[in-house]
Structure 1
Amino acid sequence: MQQNRHYRISIFLLGLIIVVFGISGCQPKKKNSVIDEKFRIDELLFEDKFDSGMNNWLVEVAPDSTVHIGIQNEKLVIDTDRGATVWLNRELSGNVLIRYKRRVVMEDGPNDRLSDMNQFWMASDPRNPDLFTRSGAFAEYDSLLMYYAGIGGNYNETTRFRKYTGDGNRVLVHDLTDEAHLLKPNHTYLIEIVVKDGQTNVFVDEEEFFSFMDDNPLTRGYFGIRTTWSRHEIDDVEVYRLK
């Protein structure tokens, strides 16, 4: 009897192991992201899940704005009736990936407008080592040296990539107007910006929107989240070093 009991327990355990490993083996492998396939991520340099205030950020807002910029439900909220830029307060350099989530809120708020999911990166001021001297009005950034992507600008009619050359010139590199490259209301986008070996790329929900090989690449500078007259939620900001 005792031997039969041990035999039955052994058969049961063997069957359980087969079931567990069989189920595990049937699980689909996690799909690598486009970034994982194209680039080699080295180390995490920075992350902010907005669960401990805004110590990592500097805010510039246009004069006479009605604006709220702060943390709500562990997300950075930019709710403004005029221009606003929120800068990460540390300089980035070399080959990097900037990754974050962003939603344009459309819930009948006073500033809810489907437009201007904008960002600056590798930004510097060739005339002033202190970048953070502007009011938030868009034209004041014309003198910067930086890359710019504006998704769903001009009342969600254009999506553009520019290089600002530091002398007031804003070189238009890409201009997209088809619906697939414009904004959807209340959709949480994954934005990924790559700077690597003279080239910069912008991916939106893992689709490459922009790619630019720069003859005079910008290799260091600041990252800024930009909008005007709209309400945006930002979350899960990460910066990685790329190999």
Structure 2
Amino acid sequence: MGPAVRLPLCGLILAAPLAALAWCEPPRQLETVAADDFRAGLARWRLEAEDERAVVTAKDGVLDIATPAGLSLWWRQPLGGDYAIRFTAVALPAPASAGEHAGRLSDLNMFWNALEADGSGPHPRSGKFTGYDTLPTYYAGFGANANTTTRLRLYDGRERRMLAGFADGAIAEPGELPMNPQTRLHAGQPLAIEIVSRRPSAADPVHLRWLANGHALFTRADPQPRLHGHFALRTTASRLQIRDFQILQCR
């Protein structure tokens, strides 16, 4: 696997207001087709944890993730069509088991529209981040690298391609914008996440929207978009709480 590379920022829109991003227009409507209220365990998810000390629970309306190392939590149901994923996330200090990373805020990350190169669903992996380098997918890392980067990537099965991002100071790659309050995690503060995946059209070529608290941090209008596959929450050396997980279809 070669180093991550960067794609041009074609089709990128940053921090557009939610009102400008209507994508499910009448007569179609958004309908909730699946959800998890986190009151009945993890039956709808598949856990891949690099460290056996990771603790993941789903009860009393909260998915609680506390992990000292890499962890992915895959929604078992594949997604396709024009859909949105919505949930609320809260970042808390990483657990003591994270060692030198204990207490940090970091890594509200996710994969989506992930499929193996042969079109099958993602096969089980160890939870180590580099193990996913061969998995074609989109990836967003919000507040990653100890809350110093927020980036959108495309994995094509051979390399991890930077599409767009925000980063602090010396770690910024060419073309990245500076981090700002909208692109950082804030301890204990709820963050509403929405991912939109839709078929592009001549009138609206944007197929990907990634929003945080109503602000579209990333949008894409790529010539060969990924439009279906699997979703996973991803993190490392962190503690996250997730609530109100929903999948909506535009029908």
TM range (shorter): 0.7 to 0.9
How much does 1:127 deviate? 4.2
Deviations 1:56-84 (A, max 9, x none): 1100011x442101124321111100000
Match of 1:190 among 189, 192, 205: 192
Kindly indicate whether structure 1 or structure 2 has the higher relative contact order, using CA contacts under 8 Å at least 6 residues apart. Answer: 2
Aligned to 1:53: 41
How much does 1:95 deviate? 1.0
Contact 1:189 1:205 in 2 (8 A): yes
Query: What residue identity is the alignment partner of 1:235?
Result: R
Contact 1:61 1:85 in 2 (8 A): yes
Contact 2:121 2:229 in 1 (8 A): no
Classify the secondary structure of the residue corresponding to 1:93.
coil
In structure 2, relative to structure 1, the CA distance for the partners of 1:60 and 1:108 (3 Å cut) is: closer
Match of 2:216 among 208, 223, 236: 208
Aligned to 2:130: 139
Give RMSD over aligned pairs.
Answer: 2.0
Cα separation, 2, equivalents of 1:107 and 1:153: 13
Question: What pairs with 1:39-78 in structure 2 (closer than 5 Å)?
Answer: 39-40=23-24, 41-62=29-50, 64-78=51-65
Classify the secondary structure of the residue corresponding to 2:233.
strand
Runs of 4+ in 1 over 4 A off after TM superposition: 107-111
Cα separation, 1, equivalents of 2:62 and 2:68: 19
Deviations 1:75-106 (A, max 9, x none): 11111000000010010011110000111113
Contact 2:94 2:104 in 1 (8 A): no
Contact 1:194 1:202 in 2 (8 A): yes
1:231 aligns with 2:239: yes
Cα separation, 1, equivalents of 2:44 and 2:95: 30
Query: What residue identity is the alignment partner of 2:32?
Result: L
Aligned to 1:123: 114
Give the unaligned 5+ runs of structure 2: 1-16, 168-178, 201-206
Cα separation, 2, equivalents of 1:146 and 1:98: 16
Cα separation, 2, equivalents of 1:37 and 1:144: 29
Query: What residue identity is the alignment partner of 2:114?
Result: A
Query: What residue identity is the alignment partner of 1:231?
Result: R
How much does 1:109 deviate? 5.1
Cα separation, 2, equivalents of 1:50 and 1:129: 27
Contact 1:65 1:81 in 2 (8 A): no
Aligned to 2:140: 149
Aligned to 1:91: 78
Cα separation, 2, equivalents of 1:130 and 1:191: 24
Classify the secondary structure of the residue corresponding to 1:140.
helix
Match of 1:81 among 58, 61, 68: 68
Give the unaligned 5+ runs of structure 1: 1-32
Contact 1:96 1:240 in 2 (8 A): yes
Query: What residue identity is the alignment partner of 1:77?
Result: D
* Higher helix fraction (1 or 2): 1
How much does 1:42 deviate? 2.8
Aligned to 1:34: 18
Cα separation, 2, equivalents of 1:35 and 1:212: 17
Deviations 1:86-133 (A, max 9, x none): 010010011110000111113875544201010110011114724132
* Aligned-residue identity in percent: 30
TM-score, with structure 1 as normaliser: 0.80
